[in-house]
Amino acid sequence: MITPQTQIKLNLPLYLKENLKKRAAKFGITMAEYIRHLILKDVEDMDSPCAPKK
């Protein structure tokens, strides 16, 4: 199943970007995948029509 996608431009302080990059590399994933994971973990327990289905 293909879900609709969008892009988000995000401005971060350089130190935070480097921190995210290092954490993503630790798991062998891209920074975008890591940020996506963080967002999904944040909303997984929300009762929202936008939250991913379990």
pLDDT greater than 90 at residue 27: yes
pLDDT greater than 80 at residue 17: yes
Domain boundaries, the chain: 14-43
pLDDT greater than 70 at residue 11: yes
pLDDT greater than 80 at residue 13: yes
38-51 average pLDDT score: 78
Mean pLDDT rounded to a whole number for the chain = 88
Q: What is the DSSP string of the chain?
A: -PPP---------HHHHHHHHHHHHHTT--HHHHHHHHHHHHHTTS--TTSPP-
pTM (predicted TM-score): 0.73
